[in-house]
Amino acid sequence: MTTVNLNILLLFLVFSMNAVLSYKSMHVESGELCSPITKRKIKLGKHEDSALLVSQKRLDDHSLKWKVDFKCTFEIDVSSHSDGVFAVIQKLILRKNETTNECIDYIQFKRDDGSNISRHCGYLNAELSMGKHFAPYPFSSDLAPTGNSYIDPKGKLIATIFVSREPLLEGEETDFLLVFTSYKSCMWNKQDYLPCLPHQTDKCIYVGFFHDGYVNCPYPGCVDENECSPEKLSESGFKILPTMILKNQFRRI
């Protein structure tokens, strides 16, 4: 292997280790996130501490009827009053009554004043739901969030995860992976924060979340961010990462 190749490999290893370490990660079986008696408040910090991964570990172990429904409500709270928060469902498999189209299990987002309730079930996959073809003008600065995403400009998002006590039938499963990311105005921390969309100066996220295998920005076409803001990439220095590796990394989720 040539020195150049080796250097690239080392850089990639260092980068991917950082990428993995940079996320706070919690699962719904943890008492830190889900309590049967109270609504936990999860505080997002700055830089690599400004995002949270939420997943499940044993909820799909559900062949018997539970005594009660599983319901977990938590609040995502950002560190500064002026910041907001994005929620992006990376993947979701939850039961839906095909006759009534109602959710049997669901993930729900709302604001802390109870407004803008958004409920999700069925099958969702970020890579499929966030393609460029969902955006008529992929580089516009006022794109609507995709169907698997949610924006809370006040940064006090209330999330609920509900799984019915009814057992899973043969061939049914429950699974999900959510990413919450706080965003801030691009006026501050110019080196460390980049906009999701090239001309959008009010919503910047930590640069380390670009090309890390998780979708943080809620807009169509940004799948793992850089597609929405290609000119920013060359300034950030992360462009040595081969796209193929990143794509594969994303598929593994």
Ligand X SMILES: *[C@@H]1O[C@H](CO)[C@@H](O)[C@H](O)[C@H]1NC(C)=O
Name the residue nearer to ligand X (CB basis): 48 or 60.
60
Check residue 97 for interaction with ligand X (CB under 6 A). Answer: yes
Binding mask 195-234 for ligand X (x = CB under 6 A): ----------------------------------------
Which of residues 29 and 166 has its CB atom nearest to ligand X in the complex? 166
- Of the candidates 195, 184, 181, 194, the residue with the CA atom closest to the CA atom of residue 80: 184
**Termini Cα distance of the chain:** 30
119 binds ligand X (CB under 6 A): no
Shortest CB 225 distance to ligand X, Å:
20
| Min dist. Cβ of residue 126 to ligand X (A) | 18
127 closest CA partner among 221, 210, 195 = 221
Q: How far is the CB of 109 from ligand X (least distance, A)?
A: 10
Strand-strand pairing, 40-43 and 70-77:
parallel
Give the pair of three-digit tokens for residue 180.
């919450």
- Specify the residue, 104 or 159, whose C-beta has the smaller distance to ligand X: 104
Amino acid (one-letter) located at 242: P
The residue (of 3 and 99) whose beta carbon lies closer to ligand X is 99
Q: CB of residue 7 vs ligand X: minimum separation in angstroms?
A: 45
Binding mask 99-118 for ligand X (x = CB under 6 A): xx---x----------xx--
Backbone angles phi, psi at 169, to 5 degrees: -80, 165
Residue 3 CB, shortest distance to ligand X, in Å, is: 51
Decide whether 32 or 102 has the Cβ nearer to ligand X.
102
User: Does residue 35 bind ligand X (CB under 6 A)?
Assistant: no
Residues between 120 and 149 with contacts to ligand X, criterion CB under 6 A: none
- Between residues 123 and 188, which has the closer beta carbon with respect to ligand X? 123
Of 26-34, 95-103, 187-195, 223-231: span binding ligand X (CB under 6 A): 95-103
Residue ranges in contact with ligand X by CB under 6 A = 97, 99-100, 104, 115-116
